[in-house]
Amino acid sequence: MARSISSFSVLEYFSESGGSKCGYCNRSSSSLSHGMWAHVMSAEDYQDLIDRGWRRSGKYVYKPTMHQTCCPQYTIRCHALDFLPNKTHKKVLKKMSKFLAKGDITKGLTDESTMDMNTLPDLLPVQDHLCPDLRDPNISTKEGLQEPSEAIASNQATKTFFGSESKVQKKRTPHPGVGVDPARPLCRKAKDIRRERKRQKLLHGQPEGLKVEPRSSTPSATATASNPPTQHPQAVNRQSKLLEEFISDQGGPDASHHLEVKLVRSSPRSTEFEASFFDSIALYRRYQQAVHKDPLSKLSQQQFTRFLCDSPLEEEHRADGPSEGYGSFHEQFWLDGKLLAVGVLDILPRCLSSVYFYYDPDYSNLSLGVYSALREIALTKRMHHEATDIRHYYIGYYIHSCPKMRYKAQYRPADLLCPESYHWVQVEHCLPLLDKAKYSRFNTDLSAGDDDCPVSLDHVMVLYNRCAMPYNVYQQRWAHSKDEAEVREYASFVGQRCAERMLLYRG
């Protein structure tokens, strides 16, 4: 059945040209990538593109040339359904709870302290969340402690000097007994009992928007024989407090501050988005000036709109999809009626994808970059109840050669995308390889290749003279063969499925 042009994604492809300045290592002409201008794009097409290493900045979609660029950028995703907050995440959540309850901002972990990202390129900003590097290289084992036997001997000598040797010996000699009564249940700590009660309460009657995610026991469909699925360490501890429990504890009728989180559609612009547009751009300017040291002259309304409001994604709604639909959104954090922070997001068929985040620099001590990422993971889990295919939280690019970007590997369980086979590999297997070389193939099966590699250009769809047609028809009718190498390169980067669904513009 014929399709109208309006039902296709329409893109212009730009082959790789001279390198640009890298926003991570500051080297000139060393950042290499391929790009496309997306006039319009479906959520399904963009989902397949980011699963092949592409990302968008406004309507510009780009893919780093991984084996040549100075700082390889690997697509990373978090398994939102199995995510459990670590110690640092819990501190951030508790800090926010304390602030909302008592109005107290304590000094501690801040976004700016370790995430000064003011060198990011203007045209291709790949900053998603200003979060700290959670790995602490200064942690080491304590030295100078006595061995257990030396400590006992020292303690024994001290007590003998004071005439209490007999008492020490008496304490060290256990009384005979029959052992643990098997008929009695094991003792449990009071805090574990309270956690279990609260967990059951959330499971059976939690408020809307704070649904607890059931644990997934199904291995990932993307696992390969060479990279067998293993049980993620964080998914084992069932006694750990859930992310939703921390969030549900925040606020209340007697709280000093009220935090309201709104998800508003940014493209096409909703009424709620239009009403808060000038608040949003004012907050963006304050953030860029304070955190990235950008001059006000560069922060025009046009630049803000092109960068964070324009999106090629169409608004889509499906019966089995999330209530908000698919497309581009702004998640707004309102503190006592004032805009505190904004997260730019894409809701796609299989994930929630983070694009950018900015906040009020006066509240940097709240670690809002970390906090927003945790809220977005919770949002992903909530959407999974409405659209079961949404299971992952995409955090943008992981850049191992840039220490400031390594924090993304701490949102686990997580996978990195193999740049050659486009298979997902657990981050624990990838990091040792990246410690040896900044570019690496993660799939250890060298025979595994690109499953979606195009074998023919006959079915690659192009748009010419406002008509959609296969590339071989375009060649026959208009005898254009000079662009065959470029079309073949485009098809190899987007994959056969996207090449057959999307329209490549031919001027």
Domain boundary among 431, 451, 471: 451
The residue segments making up the domain with residue 223 are 71-135+198-451
Residue 489 has pLDDT above 50, yes or no: yes
Distance CA 474, CA 503 (A): 12
**Closest CA relative to residue 260, chosen from 189, 210, 331, 314:** 331
Same domain, 46 and 115: no
Strands 392-398 and 74-79: antiparallel
Q: Is residue 193 part of a domain?
A: no
Residue 168 has pLDDT above 90, yes or no: no
Question: 260-274, 379-393, 445-459: which range is least confident on average?
Answer: 445-459
Same domain, 63 and 131: no
Residues 6 or more apart whose CB falls under 8 angstroms from that of 177 comprise: none
Summarize pLDDT for 357-384 with one digit per residue, the tens: 999 999 999 999 999 999 999 999 999 9
User: Could you identify the residue written with the tokens 């000598």?
Assistant: 157
Segment 326-343 mean pLDDT: 98
* Phi, psi at 211, each rounded to 5°: -75, 140
Helix (H) or strand (E) holding 399: none
* Residues pairing with 397 in the sheet: 75
Domain boundary among 409, 427, 451: 451
Same domain, 3 and 129: no
Same domain, 441 and 464: no
Q: What is the pLDDT of residue 247?
A: 87
Distance CA 267, CA 375 (A): 22
Segment 456-465 mean pLDDT: 93
Q: Is residue 189 part of a domain?
A: no
Same domain, 123 and 3: no
The confidence band for 215, taking pLDDT boundaries of 50, 70 and 90, is very low
Q: Is residue 442 part of a domain?
A: yes
Question: 202-211, 249-258, 424-433: which range is least confident on average?
Answer: 202-211
Same domain, 429 and 365: yes
Show the tokens assigned to 5: 């042009």
Show the tokens assigned to 389: 């295919």
Q: Is residue 142 part of a domain?
A: no
Between 370 and 128, name the one with better pLDDT: 370
Is the peptide bond preceding residue 268 cis, with omega within 30 degrees of 0? yes
Domain boundary among 425, 451, 477: 451
Summarize pLDDT for 281-306 with one digit per residue, the tens: 999 999 999 999 999 999 999 999 99
Q: Are 480 and 474 in contact (CB under 8 A)?
A: yes
The DSSP line for 257-316 is S-EEEEEEEEETBPHHHHHTHHHHHHHHHHHHHHHS---GGG--HHHHIIIII--SBPPB
Same domain, 14 and 118: no
Show the tokens assigned to 238: 């069932």
Residues 6 or more apart whose CB falls under 8 angstroms from that of 315 comprise: 265, 267, 268, 325, 326, 327
Number of Cβ within 10 Å of residue 368's Cβ equals: 27
How many structural domains does the chain have? 2
